[in-house]
Amino acid sequence: MHGDTACWGVDVPHGQDPADGAAVDLRTFFGRATETEWAVAGRAVQLVEWGRTHKFCGRCATPTLIADNERAYTCPTCRLMSFPRLAPAVITLVTRGHGDDEEALLARGVQWQIPMYSCLAGFVEPGENLEQAVAREILEEVGIWVADVQYVASQPWPFPHSLMLGFRARYDHGDIVCDATEIMDANWYRRDALPMIPPGISIARRLIDDWLAS
């Protein structure tokens, strides 16, 4: 519900446009909608994707049914229940130094077509807490050890079903050594010499903007 208005997510077959060419993807819609409207659209995308990928039981392959008392698909054979998938991911701005000499660690992913640099991010692994995930991802991606990991904010990220958890961390020790399978380039940047950074749609931009304003 958006106020008193019921909102529906419709699973449209690939290649079809139910709005006669007026439909836009979520990234484009961000610049045309309010924050609440974009959140509603993102929720719809995640729920439709969940429906597309849970038509059959993951344990016994029986076609699933929609549960009548909660948001879940249930298996009529083995009773396994499948809830909307949510993949927690950590995204972190690492800084070193103080005052005017403070620098932020920004990196460019190998799959990015444009020379944009952002915070380091990765998915949380089973059995670790969020702070451990932050330290592990940064060490794996750029060979840097961090300390003083502090939570900042979170953001639903419906591409297709993540929850981004934003952090700040301080550089402890180590030299930049990029994991060539994920990171094309990484470097330390001062506030007055930043490369291209992400647009406002991403929590990465909030982390960077908060640092710039601090």
- Mean of the pLDDT values across residues 55-65? 97
- Position 28 scores a pLDDT of 87
Looking at domain 26-82, its CATH architecture is Alpha-Beta Complex (3.90)
Whether 26-82 shares its CATH topology with 87-213 is answered: yes
Domain coordinates in residue numbering, the chain: 26-82, 87-213
pLDDT digits (tens, 9 = 90+) for 112-136: 999 999 999 999 999 999 999 999 9
Please state which CATH number belongs to domain 87-213.
3.90.79.10
- Residue 174: what residue type? G
Q: Residue 191 above 90 pLDDT? A: yes
The model carries a pTM of 0.89
Whole-Å CA distances, 115 to 118, 161, 185, 211 = 10, 26, 10, 21
